[in-house]
Chain A
Amino acid sequence: MAKFFNSLRDGVGFDLILVGAAMLFLLALAGLPLVYNVLMSFQQVDMFTLGQLIRPFAGFTNYAAVVAQPEFWLVTRNTLIFVVGSMTGQFVLGFALALFFAQKFPGAATIRGLFLVSWVMPGLVVGAIWSWILAGDFGVLNSVLRGLGIIQSNIFWKSDPSFSIWAVIIANIWLGLAFNMLLLSVGLAAIPRDLYEAAELDGANAWQRFWTITLPMMRSTIGAVLSLGLIGTLQQFDLFPALTEGGPANTSNVAGYWSWQLSFQLYDFAKGATVSVMMFVLVLFASILYVRSTRHEVRG
């Protein structure tokens, strides 16, 4: 018995307590809601049985019903466009800016800091601002594009089915740009300078240095930025109610907003839960890919 308590104080038991506490915390705050959510997607949930755990079992009928919704494939397609579009934009522009501000010139650090303004702004505020910028008749973006001679007539970003999803993507890229740039800047700063000096002495040009030193050394940072980007993009909610409400006719609706809409606007909690479980499976798949790709990473 004494041995047991000793082990709790300074042995293996102590480690187990630490791990156990963390696991308990995870289980209670992340695990239980998740299980509840999965459970709910297999039950017949009613607005008035929301507080109960035991409800009639529904099998896969909720899943079948979600797939049978006329907007299901449209929402799936939009979600893919939204995720790929937002992540590409945020990453490419973020990386370009990070490389730019990694150059030594006066005020580089200060200006880079100013970019964070976009990141600290709440999504709803960003949505309201972009809502004005993207307005069809009197929007700033249209008048700029017209001034540059790129377009002849106004684009109705929020109301035209072929542009509505891009309206949200543009706003989301702007919102996530600073975060990407910041993480990538940190990764850039961690690469030892002498590598570049040695390469330069060997006659490598800028493009070769980027391709053979920067990119490989940034591998883990890029992996982290992309996986965080995926999660952040799937989580994005505020911009949708502020810009398009998923319209017109669901052409800018994505899984995350749809799930909220089903649960809290249409009070169809079972379908809302079902959509979020589907999203969860997607993220799980993406995280497995990410973990596998970084497993054999060599750290410099």
Chain B
Amino acid sequence: MKLSTFGLAAGIALGALLAAGPAMAQVTLKIWSIDGVDRPGIADTFSKEFDEQNEDIVVEYRGIPFDDLVNETLRAFATGNAPDIVSFDNPDFAMFSSRGAMLDITDRIANSQVIKAENYFPGPLNSVTWDGKYFGIPKYTDTIGVFYNKDLFAKAGITEPPKTWEQVAEYAEKLTDPANNVYGVTFSARAGEEGTFQFLPLIQMSGGDYSNVNTEGAVAALELWKKIIDNGWASKDVLSLGQWDSTGTFNSGNAAMAISGPWEVDRMVEDAKFDWGVALLPTLTDGGTRSSALGGFDWGIMSTTKHPDEAFRALEYFASQDNRIFEEFGSIPPRSDIPLPETGIALKDAALKVFQEQLQYAQPRGPHPEWQKISKAIYDAMQKALTGQMPAKDALDEAQATIKGIVG
């Protein structure tokens, strides 16, 4: 008797489980990004919310350190274990979309009520575009401009921030004060992506781009940078300093100008004990073509996903929350239709307005599937010229030859 009661109970339980199964047919979405590894970020927060709001979808979020993300995803894709949604740094995106690893979502975007291509800044949108099709959507963005120390400017009798690179050199000379350990300007020309990030805009301003780097204007700009370093208006260590460390010297009053981006603003508000402002990245000639580097991450659905509809719904949810990413995570939304809210900190608000204006001129690195090799050719040439190992013209010609071999 007892046994049969148990059997009955077990039978009912099993039946209930079987019956419930189809009703709760859950779709599992694997989402990977760098957020949430050390502190909460955009991807982990929004993924969790999306998971909670959708009964039929289970989200498995995985945070991967920045340096491992591309390698890990490559490996997972090669062995058939790729995630459904992944978020990459924008220059890495083309490598995946050009090789059919990302899902073409052009038609889905066209039919979407939430995601509209025209709302995005052209630069970030370009980084998810390959062959005229959309393979993802921008997640957030940033760019670079000139921070300048207004107190030091006033002391040197300079009233306006520099408009051209010639002026940067001219002001830097006036502002350099070796007795007080003050350099005129600081930037990052290091042997890595940051070096390309800061120098490529000058190539673009001269009418060139990543596949056409040895323009006359770029040669002149590189010679000007060399002059700034050779004359001691900038520290020789800009060749090994990253942007964060380089701007640190600005914050401590040891440099009068710094080229960097909005990620510096919060620290600067805390550390800088002087009045400062931000100006658009100078151009090569007065009123000349504007450009600046484009930073930030993109979202994409991997082509191996079994649930493209659900994955796209997730992207729609993420995009619908874009108006929160500035206040909650300090990142700039990649969209022109979202006004940045006032923070009440005057210096910060003024700075972010300039960066938002600068974003209209920001141009992506690439997009090209072999971006990393192109980038190395560019920063190697830049460093060869700046250290005097080669004339600027020859260094850029060599880079051009290398890049031609890659781009074809």
Chain A residues within CB distance 8 Å of chain B? 47-52, 70-71, 135-138, 156, 158-161, 164, 243-251, 261, 264-268
Contacts and interface: CB of A to CB of B under 8 A. Distances in A.
A12 B398 CA distance: 64
B101 A159 contact: no
Given A245-B191, A247-B191, A249-B387, A159 B238 contact: yes
A160 B236 contact: yes
Nearest to A164: B240
B389 A161 contact: yes
Nearest to B376: A266
A154 B356 CA distance: 39
A299 B74 CA distance: 53
Given A70-B398, A160-B387, A250-B380, A136 B236 contact: yes
A286 B235 CA distance: 42
A144 B380 CA distance: 32
A231 B213 CA distance: 40
A247 B78 contact: no
A48 B238 CA distance: 36
A217 to B, nearest CB: 45
Please report whether the interface of chain A is mostly helix, strand, loop or mixed according to DSSP: loop
A137 B181 contact: yes
26 contacts: A47-B74, A48-B74, A48-B77, A50-B75, A51-B78, A51-B79, A71-B380, A137-B235, A138-B181, A156-B239, A159-B238, A159-B240, A243-B240, A244-B240, A245-B192, A247-B379, A249-B387, A249-B389, A251-B387, A265-B372, A265-B376, A266-B370, A266-B372, A266-B376, A267-B70, A268-B373
A218 B101 CA distance: 59
Nearest to A49: B78
B382 to A, nearest CB: 8
Contacts of B74: 47-48, 50, 267
B99 interface: yes
B372 A267 contact: yes
Contacts of A250: 191, 380
Given A247-B383, A248-B383, A268-B373, A159 B239 contact: yes
Interface of B: 70-71, 74-75, 77-79, 95, 99, 101, 181, 190-192, 235-240, 249, 254, 370, 372-373, 376, 379-380, 383-384, 386-387, 389, 398, 402
B236 A156 contact: yes
A267 to B, nearest CB: 6
Given A161-B389, A249-B380, A136 B237 contact: yes
A282 B95 CA distance: 34
Given A47-B99, A137-B181, A137-B254, A249 B384 contact: yes
A264 B240 contact: no
Contacts of B389: 161, 249, 251
Given A47-B99, A137-B254, A265-B372, A248 B239 contact: yes
Contact of A248 (B99, B235, B387, B398): B387
Given A48-B78, A156-B237, 19 more contacts: A50-B74, A70-B402, A71-B380, A138-B181, A156-B236, A158-B237, A159-B240, A161-B389, A164-B240, A244-B240, A247-B240, A247-B379, A248-B384, A248-B387, A249-B191, A249-B389, A266-B372, A267-B70, A268-B373
Contacts of A248: 191, 239-240, 383-384, 386-387
Given A48-B99, A137-B181, A247-B240, A161 B235 contact: no
A180 to B, nearest CB: 28
Contacts of B191: 244-250
A224 B239 CA distance: 39
B24 to A, nearest CB: 34
A70 B389 CA distance: 13
Nearest to B80: A51
A213 B379 CA distance: 54
A261 B192 CA distance: 11
A42 B138 CA distance: 39
A266 B383 contact: no
Contacts of B70: 267
Q: Which of B79, B190, B249 has the most CB of A within 10 A?
A: B190
Contacts of A246: 191
Give 4 nearest A-B pairs by CB, closest first.
Answer: A247-B191, A51-B78, A249-B383, A159-B239
B270 to A, nearest CB: 20
Nearest to B372: A266
Given A47-B74, A50-B78, A136 B99 contact: no
Contacts of A261: 376
A164 B71 CA distance: 29
A47 B95 contact: yes
Contacts of A49: 78
Contact of B235 (A50, A71, A136): A136
A268 B192 CA distance: 16
Contacts of A138: 181
Contacts of B379: 247
Q: Which of A137, A264, A268 has the most CB of B within 10 A?
A: A137
A249 B389 CA distance: 9
Contacts of B383: 247-249
B96 to A, nearest CB: 9
Contacts of B398: 70
A247 B193 CA distance: 12
A252 to B, nearest CB: 9
